[in-house]
Structure 1
Amino acid sequence: MSHQQQLMTALDTLDRVFAAEEPFPVSGCTYCYGAQDLAELSGPLDLISDDLVPAVAAEVPSHWDDFPRLYRRLTPRIIRAAVTGRLHVDENLIASRLREADWTTWDAPLAQALHEVWSAWWRATLHTGPSPVSVRDALSLITGATGTLRPWLDIWTATRTAAADTQLADFIDEVLTEYEITDLHVGFYDEYDASTELLSWLLNDVRDRADDARLDEPYLLEHHWASTHPGQTE
């Protein structure tokens, strides 16, 4: 089974597991959402319009009387659209909303199904070029949602494909522009500081695959040393 097929299987499993989430009367901000919108959100999941799903995906929790339950119920629609590049909502924002919905505390089958999507999506991204969602955006969503970066970097290290190397070059070029990597956060509210882990990974784990002389610039090396040896001088 290809990595893309594994991703589709994981998304189908997500649909099946979350099907147990019953519709419920959705109430919230009637200034932003009319009676028809609320009725639609209270009905069958597959009948919720493609326009309403991204609105819910991005909306602040305070707009809903029961945000965690609504976000949990719409998760299969939100995530399928997100990983296939059809949601058009900032990936960092989706990650933050999932954290606000406390997805890791959901019933084990739900949380496990979502984690399987993260794993399948990340591997499919590293084996696809170009992928529907950029490698940086995928990594941002997954890291922001899971609250961990290193496991996903380790998978990238172990994935020696032409697609993974091409995406690595593009990723490096992006994060080294104006030294963004020295202050790189993940999550819509900058919840996760990825700078030290990411720079260390680039300088040590994949340096042999990163053909970019900027990684040898003294400023970057000095910044890395300072961030990994706080309070010390060289």
Structure 2
Amino acid sequence: MHLAPHSARRRLGAALENLSVTFRGMTAHPDEANCACHWGSPEELSLLKTPDVELEPDLLRRTWQAIDWTDHAAVLRRILPQFATVLVAGRAEPLFGLEEAGYSFARGCWQQWPDEQAESVREFLHAWWVQSLTDPNAVVPAHQVFVACAEASGTLGPWLADWEEQTEHLSDRRLIEAAAEWECELLRDALPWSVGWYEHDEEELRAELVAWLLGHAATRLREAGAPADLQHRIRLLGLTGEDRWTDPHWPGYR
């Protein structure tokens, strides 16, 4: 399937608008509290209990990054329309990687929310991901969006399926870029990002990503004209132990 950039942008815009409608009027729990020394002031906390008031950027960042809310789901619903807009604009400012934003979604257990709310979140994540693959003006690199979506959902399947559907040149380029970003850690038998939610199985995610790279992605990388060295490093993921290290194309990573 070939999705035109303007179609992807329209879909993402509609998804953001739907978040605003779905979560309008949401607030943190009335009894929610947090440490004034480490999170913020009572006045800032009161803003989370006030609906539809935009938070200044640093307060928004502290809010989605905090791991110690009593009711993280309610806090996430309160900030979600603004948070999603900031993510798309590349202004989330995680400390390490965009997987941290995914952790915030995962802590909110959004898949267990009422159907309308869960579907609104799901459509936003898919729309953002597809836009990152198909829109040359996408702000956030596709491999970072992929990681955020993977951590938000605890699975790779839906996002890999989207990638398989997007077969145009730009999506192929995004695949080459992602493979180049990931191969070093994968050759160490490690996932290329940190898993931050205890319910997510890091080894299962790594195995699924490797299997996809060795299958669908390997053929696509070859057809897209990916550098030969990169294709060999992906091939090496199918080898183990000494077979990998003694291969003439082993890059010497340890």
User: Given the two structures, how large is their TM-score scaled by the length of structure 1?
Assistant: 0.84
Give the Cα–Cα distance (whole angstroms) in 2 for the partners of residues 116 and 178 of structure 1. 30
1:206 is the counterpart of 2:228: no
Query: Deviation at 1:174?
Result: 1.1
Alignment equivalent of 1:8, drawn from 1, 4, 13: 13
**Which residue pairs with 1:69 in the alignment?**
74
Query: Deviation at 1:51?
Result: 2.0
Against the structure 1 CA distance between its residues 98 and 181, is the aligned structure 2 distance closer, same or farther, given a 3 Å change threshold? farther
1:216 is the counterpart of 2:249: no
Q: Which amino acid aligns with 2:195?
A: G
Query: Deviation at 1:37?
Result: 1.2
1:93 is the counterpart of 2:100: yes
Give the Cα–Cα distance (whole angstroms) in 1 for the partners of residues 187 and 65 of structure 2. 25
Query: Deviation at 1:82?
Result: 1.0
**Which residue pairs with 1:229 in the alignment?**
none
1:27 is the counterpart of 2:33: yes
**Which residue pairs with 2:155 in the alignment?**
148
Give the Cα–Cα distance (whole angstroms) in 2 for the partners of residues 47 and 155 of structure 1. 32
- Superposed, 1:1-234 pairs within 5 Å as 2-22=7-27, 25=30, 26-32=32-38, 33-60=40-67, 62=68, 64-89=69-94, 90-129=97-136, 131-177=138-184, 179-180=186-187, 182-184=189-191, 185=193, 187-188=195-196, 191-193=200-202, 194-210=205-221, 211-213=226-228, 214-216=230-232, 219-223=236-240
Deviates more, 1:178-187 or 1:4-13: 178-187
Give the Cα–Cα distance (whole angstroms) in 2 for the partners of residues 178 and 99 of structure 1. 23
Describe the SS at the equivalent of 1:221.
Answer: coil
State how many pairs are aligned: 223
- Asked whether the 8 Å contact 2:163–2:171 carries over to 1, the reply is yes
Give the Cα–Cα distance (whole angstroms) in 1 for the partners of residues 52 and 62 of structure 2. 15
- Asked whether the 8 Å contact 2:28–2:74 carries over to 1, the reply is no
Query: Deviation at 1:98?
Result: 1.7
- Asked whether the 8 Å contact 2:172–2:220 carries over to 1, the reply is yes
- Give ranges in structure 2 of 5+ residues lacking alignment: 1-5, 244-254
Q: Equivalent pairs: percent with the same residue? A: 23
Query: Deviation at 1:40?
Result: 2.3
Give the Cα–Cα distance (whole angstroms) in 2 for the partners of residues 48 and 178 of structure 1. 37
Describe the SS at the equivalent of 1:10.
Answer: helix
Against the structure 1 CA distance between its residues 181 and 132, is the aligned structure 2 distance closer, same or farther, given a 3 Å change threshold? farther
User: Given the two structures, how large is their TM-score scaled by the length of structure 2?
Assistant: 0.78
Against the structure 1 CA distance between its residues 22 and 31, is the aligned structure 2 distance closer, same or farther, given a 3 Å change threshold? closer
Against the structure 1 CA distance between its residues 172 and 203, is the aligned structure 2 distance closer, same or farther, given a 3 Å change threshold? same
Q: CA RMSD in A?
A: 2.5
Give the Cα–Cα distance (whole angstroms) in 2 for the partners of residues 212 and 149 of structure 1. 25
Against the structure 1 CA distance between its residues 34 and 76, is the aligned structure 2 distance closer, same or farther, given a 3 Å change threshold? same
Deviates more, 1:191-200 or 1:22-31: 22-31
Give the Cα–Cα distance (whole angstroms) in 2 for the partners of residues 23 and 30 of structure 1. 16
Against the structure 1 CA distance between its residues 69 and 172, is the aligned structure 2 distance closer, same or farther, given a 3 Å change threshold? same
- Asked whether the 8 Å contact 1:181–1:199 carries over to 2, the reply is no
